């Protein structure tokens, strides 16, 4: 064999080694230097990749379909630690936060209740706060919040005072959000209202919650007070869910279909103008300075299928946030490490390489529920709305607001 041939062979061998090593290069990167690729995507794209259930009909709660896995699993875990003093106030270790971020970014879905080495809820609380802060999509667009505040002030100049029941215009505005935004905001504020109902133990009253986690949600303080302090009276169902579900089914089939838009590109402005004038139509979420979802300002390609907004009588109460297989949480169980929980049939996991539908579909469902989950099917806040001694409206800085 000539030297040239031998050299060429060695060169090709080296190329082969380089090619094979690149597949493992990412694994060699430390967590501190890992660059996130999935859990920092906009809400719609992230949900499509990481959602726990691929089929709305087979999931046990709508949030499994409309929410990304990271906030769903984090809330599921943190609700078991709702009595923990310092939650959202005491930061978790930076290295561990990076570790969990990387795992969710690469594995998409992790059932934190099955993680035997997870003992500190502050790690997950800090990860959730970071995720909310970095989320490119506003759960409730700033433009819509401002217009809603104008409409509410015309009805009630003191609408920002703490302790009032959620007004109907607020419920209507929430119901017109895309389901991606609606159910995420629904689940997060439900979780915070659970913490509020345990404020005697966790020391997190409405004011402390607003200071510690309020800025991450990018919500005005008055809106935060309603959604957390009077959570159970804010939700009447997502009126846009049917249209967005049609769009999701079309997306799964590779079709370019957009959900219906009740009016034009300026539907939010038109809806808010109607609210100010006393019209009972719900507020639409489009027209924000930041899109509420990828579908923002889209026009329907099936205009002949236009459906008018449903009336209040036709609306149904949504299925509220309940982790799969849970039962009512009585608050009598002490905080437990996840490995102490009784074993059960596993919930479905999202993975691009697995047939999730085969896991979630079928008539048989797990019959062994988690014994210590919170069962947040109804708000168990002792008194709503919540009154405090902190005055009417404490503004806090809201990041990522331009």
Provide Rg for the chain, Cα atoms.
23
Domain that holds residue 175: 142-305
Question: How much is the pTM?
Answer: 0.65
Read off the pLDDT of each residue in 34-52 and give the average, rounded to a whole number. 96
Question: What is the mean pLDDT of the segment spanning 191-195?
Answer: 96
Q: Is residue 5 part of a domain?
A: no
**208 inside domain:** yes
Tens of pLDDT, residues 216-259: 999 999 999 999 999 999 999 999 999 999 999 999 888 877 77
pLDDT at 255 (0 to 100):
85
Q: Confirm whether 380 is domain-assigned.
A: no
**Sequential DSSP letters for 84-137:** -TTTTTSPPPHHHHHHHHHHHHHHS---GGG-TT---HHHHHHHHHHHHHH-SS
* Total domains in the fold of the chain: 1
Q: Is residue 104 part of a domain?
A: no
Q: CA 322 to CA 332: how far, in whole Å?
A: 18
Give me the DSSP letters along 204-223. Answer: --HHHHHHHTHHHHT--HHH
Q: What angle do CA 143, 147, 151 make, to 5 degrees?
A: 165
| Residue 182 belongs to a domain | yes
Task: Work out the mean pLDDT of the chain and round it to a whole number.
Answer: 72
Which range (77-81, 142-146, 263-267, 280-284) has the least confidence? 280-284
Q: What are the pLDDT digits (tens) for 155-181?
A: 999 999 998 999 999 999 999 999 999
* Token pair recorded at residue 195: 């913490």
| Domain contains 265 | yes
Using pLDDT thresholds of 50, 70 and 90, give the confidence band for residue 10.
low
378 with 232: CB under 8 angstroms? yes
- pLDDT for the residue numbered 13: 47
* Between 60 and 291, residue with greater pLDDT: 60
Q: Alpha carbon of 338 to those of 24, 81, 118, 250: distances in Å?
A: 31, 11, 7, 38
pLDDT digits (tens, 9 = 90+) for 270-325: 444 444 333 333 333 333 334 444 443 333 333 333 343 444 444 444 444 444 33
* CA–CA gap between residue 23 and residue 227 (Å, rounded): 46
- Does 340 reside within a domain? no
| Residue 190 domain flag | yes
The tokens describing 386, both together, are 């919540």
First to last CA, the chain: 68
Phi-psi region for residue 348, left (φ > 0), alpha (ψ -120 to 50) or beta? beta
Q: Any idea which of 77-81, 124-128, 334-338 has the lowest mean pLDDT?
A: 334-338
């Amino acid at each position: 064999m000539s030297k040239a041939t031998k050299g060429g062979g060695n060169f090709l061998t080296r190329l082969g080694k380089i090619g094979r090593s690149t597949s493992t290069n990412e694994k060699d990167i430390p967590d501190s230097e890992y660059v996130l690729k999935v859990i920092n995507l906009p809400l719609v794209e992230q949900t499509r990749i990481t959602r726990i259930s691929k089929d709305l009909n087979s999931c046990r709660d709508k949030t499994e379909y409309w929410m990304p896995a990271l906030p769903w699993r984090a809330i599921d875990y943190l609700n078991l630690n709702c009595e923990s003093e310092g939650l959202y106030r005491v930061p978790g270790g930076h290295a561990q936060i990076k570790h969990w971020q990387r795992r969710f970014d690469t594995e998409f879905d992790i059932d934190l209740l099955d993680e035997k080495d997870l003992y500190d809820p502050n790690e997950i609380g800090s990860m959730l706060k970071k995720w909310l802060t970095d989320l490119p999509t506003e759960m409730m667009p700033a433009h819509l919040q401002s217009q809603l505040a104008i409409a509410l002030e015309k009805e009630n100049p003191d609408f920002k005072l703490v302790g009032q029941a959620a007004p109907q215009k607020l419920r209507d505005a929430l119901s017109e959000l895309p389901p991606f935004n609606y159910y995420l905001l629904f689940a997060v504020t439900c979780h915070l209202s659970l913490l509020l109902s345990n404020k005697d133990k966790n020391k997190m009253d409405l004011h402390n919650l607003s200071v510690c986690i309020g800025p991450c949600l990018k919500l005005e303080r008055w809106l935060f007070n309603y959604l957390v302090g009077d959570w159970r009276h804010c939700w009447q169902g997502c009126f846009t869910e049917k249209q967005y579900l049609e769009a999701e089914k079309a997306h799964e089939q590779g079709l370019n279909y957009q959900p219906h838009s009740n009016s034009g590109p300026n539907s939010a402005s038109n809806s808010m103008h109607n609210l100010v004038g006393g019209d009972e139509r719900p507020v639409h979420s489009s027209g924000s300075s930041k899109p509420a979802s990828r579908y923002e300002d889209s026009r329907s390609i099936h205009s002949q299928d236009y459906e008018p907004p449903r009336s209040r009588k036709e609306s149904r109460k949504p299925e509220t946030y309940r982790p799969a297989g849970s039962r009512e949480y009585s608050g009598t169980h002490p905080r437990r490490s996840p490995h102490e929980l009784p074993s059960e049939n596993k919930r479905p996991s999202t993975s691009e390489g697995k047939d999730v539908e085969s896991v979630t579909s079928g008539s048989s469902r797990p019959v062994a529920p988690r014994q210590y989950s919170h069962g947040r099917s109804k708000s168990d806040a002792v008194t709503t709305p919540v009154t405090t001694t902190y005055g009417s409206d404490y503004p806090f800085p809201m990041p990522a607001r331009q």
